[in-house]
């Protein structure tokens, strides 16, 4: 096996990406065709893909990966959840996470990114309006414009039942608490940062979203949503 491919694998395991500007020597290995080919073969066996993006390459787990993908235990650790956090709370956090990504990346192709930042206050307002629409559309079946499942209606109602809370709250019964919890998750995954009160996507998120929004990846997201529709509350 090419030693350079092992060096690349080790670096990717540590951080998830390799940046041209961080280490020019390691980046020379990235440009080693034989090493990259071996890394791709390792990915097929271990369940990951190598995604090039401008001056970085990323290691992205595939759906059948049983090593790098996080489970609910990891999720709870990232959001610093206590035992009283229910699975339903995790579903609501996932719902909000997808909505945040939608707010930032609802464009097309190279113009997928449509905004640079949002405040917590704006996020709560926009998500609340979205949830009000979900609940409203479910009242009159003859006037439904979106296909929301019963579970998504329940999650929307759950959000709307919460009080706003303190801006620094982490309580699951507060809207600010839910937002701050998902921001902990985003910080752990290095997807978004909060800078002077503004929520901003990281370079990693900007690089990876075009990959996520590929047609085959969108189908995987739709499959996940279908699973969430049938998930039972505990």
Return the residue matching tokens 């440009």: 31
pLDDT top residue among 118 and 234: 118
- Res 138 pLDDT > 50: yes
Alpha carbons within 13 angstroms on the beta-carbon side of residue 150 total 4
pLDDT of residue 89: 85
pTM of the model: 0.75
pLDDT digits (tens, 9 = 90+) for 1-25: 778 999 999 999 888 999 999 988 8
- The answer to whether 117 and 103 are in contact (CB under 8 A) is no
Average pLDDT value for residue range 204-216: 79
Q: In this predicted structure, what is the pLDDT of residue 84? A: 67
- Each residue of 92-135: pLDDT tens digit? 998 999 899 989 988 877 788 999 999 999 999 999 999 998 88
DSSP 141-190: GGG--S---HHHHHHHHHHHTSB---TT---TTBHHHHHHHHHHHHHHTT
């Amino acid at each position: 096996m090419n030693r350079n491919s092992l060096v690349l694998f080790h670096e990717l395991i540590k951080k998830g990406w390799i940046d041209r500007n961080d280490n020019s020597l390691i980046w020379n290995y990235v440009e080693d065709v034989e090493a990259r080919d071996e890394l791709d073969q390792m990915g097929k066996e271990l369940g990951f893909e190598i995604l090039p993006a401008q001056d970085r390459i990323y290691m992205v787990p595939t759906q059948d990966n049983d090593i790098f993908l996080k489970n609910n235990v990891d999720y709870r650790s990232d959001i610093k959840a206590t035992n009283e956090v229910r699975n339903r709370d995790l579903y609501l956090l996932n719902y909000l996470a997808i909505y945040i990504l939608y707010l930032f990346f609802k464009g097309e192709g190279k113009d997928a990114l449509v905004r640079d930042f949002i405040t917590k206050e704006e996020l709560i307002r926009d998500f609340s309006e979205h949830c009000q629409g979900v609940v409203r559309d479910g009242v009159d079946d003859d006037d439904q414009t979106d296909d929301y499942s019963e579970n998504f209606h329940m999650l929307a109602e759950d959000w709307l039942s919460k009080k706003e809370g303190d801006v620094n709250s982490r309580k699951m019964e507060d809207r600010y608490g839910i937002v701050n919890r998902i921001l902990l998750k985003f910080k752990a995954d290095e997807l978004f940062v909060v800078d002077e009160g503004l929520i901003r996507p990281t370079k990693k998120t900007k690089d990876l979203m075009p990959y996520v929004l590929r047609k085959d990846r969108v189908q995987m997201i739709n499959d996940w949503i279908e699973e969430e529709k049938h998930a039972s509350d505990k």
